[in-house]
Structure 1
Amino acid sequence: MSRSTFTKTIEHTESIERQSQNHAVIILASGLSQRLGQPKQLLVKNGAPLITSMTRLAIATNPQAIVVVIPDSHRLIVSATTELTSQHPTVQIVMNTRADTGMAHSLSLGIETVAAFESTSIDRVLIMGVDQVLLDEPHLTALLAGKHTVVASRYHSWQGLEKHQNRDDTVSDIIGLPLAINYKLLRQWQSELIGDKGLRHLIRELSADQIGEVDNDQLSYDIDTPEQLSFARKQGWLDS
């Protein structure tokens, strides 16, 4: 077999594997950005709203379905996501009328929507936020490649990174989003998602051999405050 034929065979195999991914994606994007003072969903990266950039990353993983949970109180966020659904039939938008009650309700809405899809082949759910501006496709691919019940991201907080620069090695890691989780387990946990009590406290109850981790300190740079936004813009991670 020639090298070119071999390469085409590998690419064809990889294409089939990408097309047969048995996962759904839930993007939690209904936060009210109160500390930031403006909707983080509409911050601009490479000329597009951040919510659009994150949804495109999700699309790149070739899921069965993508559910984007947004607040119902902001017409510009609704407009940006409506454009996405017109271009990509796998994307479905869910309005959260109780965005002020915490992330757990947003996730519960996402789970309900995934459950309503006719597809019975979903075995995992990839859960993402919207403000980790350095999140990339290779990281999502690594999460989905894991074989554990939960495969979560591991990184430091902004404060933790600053301490590491000062050579303080006592800083603990954050185990959090984005993460991939067994779909049946997520359905079982849905009734326990209340207020700000999201998945983290439930994941802690799992045994160590059920949890996989993918390290990526770039995920530490989420955008919650004006100072963090200013820093991200100075670094060129977001458009000015």
Structure 2
Amino acid sequence: MLIDALLRARLRQLPEVERESARWRTLGERLDELEGALADLRVHGTMDAELAAALALPHLPETRLAVAEAADSFRVIASRFTRTTVNIGVSGAARMGKSTLLQSVSGLDDNQIPTGHGIPVTAVRSRIFHSPAVRRAELEMHSPESFLTEVISPLHVALGLASAPRTIAEFGRWVYPEALPETRDRLLLTRLREVHGALESYEPLLTGGVKTVPLEQVRRFVAYPTHEEITEGAGR
């Protein structure tokens, strides 16, 4: 399998990464020793003030910091190279095939990683972990407070609107302006109005905590309504 080959190739590079990490750590230790030696010389009884001033290395603190950061970077890389898994992040504009790619990699289907045509589908960020034994979905649910703080309030700030609603009931009564001209603000306002208009459909889900559901039931929590669901809702 290609992923297994990638893991083996990554692990073969670990000794070189560890040697490089040790080299940067040693360099940091030598710089610490240098700074200590210079400090001792500057206060030595035989040292005059002019020579003591000349012993200063003005860029030494920045150099020590850069070396420490490099050593830490190699430590992190070494830690990653010992993992038996790979992490794949997928991000991009709508309708570019992100969900289709994840389906092909993970073996999941539209019930867990929804795809569709013509309208946005994926509504939330998802993290998918491979497990040969466990098949379940854990949903991190918004509470009313976190929903208002993390979703609604930033939209109010971005749009320059008056103070954001403090309760779900207040959000439900809020009156938002009509659509703006064709700008980024218009897109944000459209999004806010859609979230506001759909409040009744998701308010019971604002429970907070973690909710465990079967994989077959994930789609309704992570996807926007389909064309058919929108049409059915309009007909009611």
Q: State the TM-score bracket (shorter-chain normalisation).
A: under 0.3
TM-score by length of 1: 0.23
TM-score by length of 2: 0.24
Larger Rg: 2
